[in-house]
Amino acid sequence: MSGRAQLMWDEAVTGYDFGPEHPMDPVRLALTRSLVGALGLDREVDVVAARAAGESTLRLVHREDYIDAVKAASADPGAADVSYGLGTVDDPAFAGMHEVSSLIAGQSVGAAEAVWRGDALHAVNFAGGLHHAMPGAASGFCVYNDAALAIARLLELGAERVAYVDVDVHHGDGVQAAFWEDPRVLTVSLHEHPRTLFPQTGWPEETGADCAEGSAVNVALPAGTGDAGWVRAFHAVVPEVLADFRPQVLVTQHGADTHFEDPLAHLAVSLDAQRAVQVACHELAHEYAGGRWVALGGGGYAVVDVVPRSWAHLVGIAAGRPVAPETVIPEGWRQQVFARTRQLGPIRMTDGRWPVGWAPWDAGYDPADRLDQAVVAARRAVFPLRGLLA
Ligand SMILES: [Zn+2]
């Protein structure tokens, strides 16, 4: 019943392409898929292409007038309506935008359905995690919010408690907004501080509407945070709120833009710490959500060196066949990287920082340390609302 993990994949998701000047180059998806194959991971999962999300599904999160505006921009990119965030620098309109955005959303919705029905215990859609899309607007390279749609579909299927954990370097604002007033959904986002990064939200004081107080958790990390601080902050907040919330399903977003090579943000996290947090999410799904785990991609703009390795690790973990960090990447994949991008691909599945050392919160904290201050702020803002000791 809950046998192999599912990898959601339809080659057509690589059509999510804002053009040659845009940082979200879909080659990152193609290279991730081919690295998954080169490492033999696709033999360890069921590769499934779900249908595109239909109109009734999109409406679980998005406003009808916005969907109509996306369709219009998709049919005629020159007529995109910027009042919906379409045709902007971040979200240029392109032909077929509605169709491919719906297809990506459909993979996340399909992943959620598979996990809820028990067809698979874990499902991965690394093309998803488009967490900035708002109910009525495109934002931050995101058109339809597949993460919010997957959660909304779980609620529609009868789920009463869904937890969402977002470790992208940017705040998971669209998902938080979609469930701001819904106590059935706990959203947790760890991100670079809004003072220094888009979308300038995700302050610890954002904790959910009155009727859902304490259902939004925000950990705003200082620019420059590295492996030890990032993993420490994750463990200082996430396990406790999940233990308290007891989700039936865990949905996680694994934007790879926390990496020190990422050109759009300012954290200093390595591939090895990203892998450590992926492993932790998998363990938390088993500990608190009966193993039901939907794992999504997200941001990540070091499209050759970082994104494919990070998400291949994610697939390996979900497949029950984690890739050892010291693994040498098959030469054939590196040749493909060069042929497609004229860049040299990475050689190993590590940045040489494994195992990641970090100090547990229980052992004490330093009130003068900026990372610890960020953790304290998050805990003090939300833990009392949940009846937890800050
Ligand atoms: Zn991001």
Cα(8) to centroid(ligand 1), Å: 21
On the question of pLDDT at 207 being above 50, the answer is yes
Contact 138, 144 (CB under 8 A): no
Give the integer Cα–Cα distance in Å for 238 and 190.
Answer: 9
Which pLDDT tens digit goes with each residue over 114-160? Answer: 999 999 999 999 999 999 999 999 999 999 999 999 999 999 999 99
Q: How confident is the model at residue 163 (pLDDT cuts 50, 70, 90)?
A: very high
Cα(217) to centroid(ligand 1), Å: 17
Cα(114) to centroid(ligand 1), Å: 26
User: How many CA atoms does the CB half-sphere of 357 hold within 13 Å?
Assistant: 1
Is residue 22 part of the annotated active site? The answer reads no
Instruction: Give the per-residue pLDDT at 43.
Output: 97
Which pLDDT tens digit goes with each residue over 27-62? Answer: 999 999 999 999 999 999 999 999 999 999 999 999
Place of tokens 């960020």: 374
Cα(37) to centroid(ligand 1), Å: 25
Instruction: Give the per-residue pLDDT at 313.
Output: 98
Please name each of the domains of the chain with its CATH number: 5-191+246-352 (3.40.800.20)
Which pLDDT tens digit goes with each residue over 89-104? Answer: 999 999 999 999 999 9
Task: To the nearest 10°, report the CA torsion of 197, 19, 97, 255.
Answer: -40
Instruction: Give the per-residue pLDDT at 111.
Output: 98
Give the integer Cα–Cα distance in Å for 386 and 245.
Answer: 9
Query: How far does the chain reach from its first CA to its final CA, in angstroms?
Result: 40
Q: How confident is the model at residue 2 (pLDDT cuts 50, 70, 90)?
A: low
- The phi and psi torsions of 209 (rounded to 5 degrees) equal -70, 165
Mean pLDDT over 272-281 rounds to: 98
Give the integer Cα–Cα distance in Å for 346 and 331.
Answer: 10
Mean pLDDT over 327-346 rounds to: 98
Cα(1) to centroid(ligand 1), Å: 34
- Please report, for residues 110, 135, 137, 295, the alpha-carbon distance to residue 125 in angstroms, rounded to integers and kept in the order given: 9, 21, 22, 6
- Average pLDDT taken over every residue of the chain: 98
Which pLDDT tens digit goes with each residue over 53-74? Answer: 999 999 999 999 999 999 999 9
Cα(28) to centroid(ligand 1), Å: 14
Cα(266) to centroid(ligand 1), Å: 11
Question: Diameter of the chain by CA atoms?
Answer: 58
Give the integer Cα–Cα distance in Å for 306 and 260.
Answer: 10
Instruction: Give the per-residue pLDDT at 257.
Output: 98
pTM listed for this prediction: 0.98
Cα(145) to centroid(ligand 1), Å: 13
Contact 39, 158 (CB under 8 A): no
Cα(91) to centroid(ligand 1), Å: 14
Cα(81) to centroid(ligand 1), Å: 24
Contact 374, 233 (CB under 8 A): yes
Instruction: Give the per-residue pLDDT at 57.
Output: 98
Mean pLDDT over 289-295 rounds to: 98
Instruction: Give the per-residue pLDDT at 1.
Output: 43
Active-site option among 132, 235, 259, 282: 132
Cα(389) to centroid(ligand 1), Å: 30
- Residue 218 in tokens: 């925000």
Cα(133) to centroid(ligand 1), Å: 12
Cα(257) to centroid(ligand 1), Å: 6
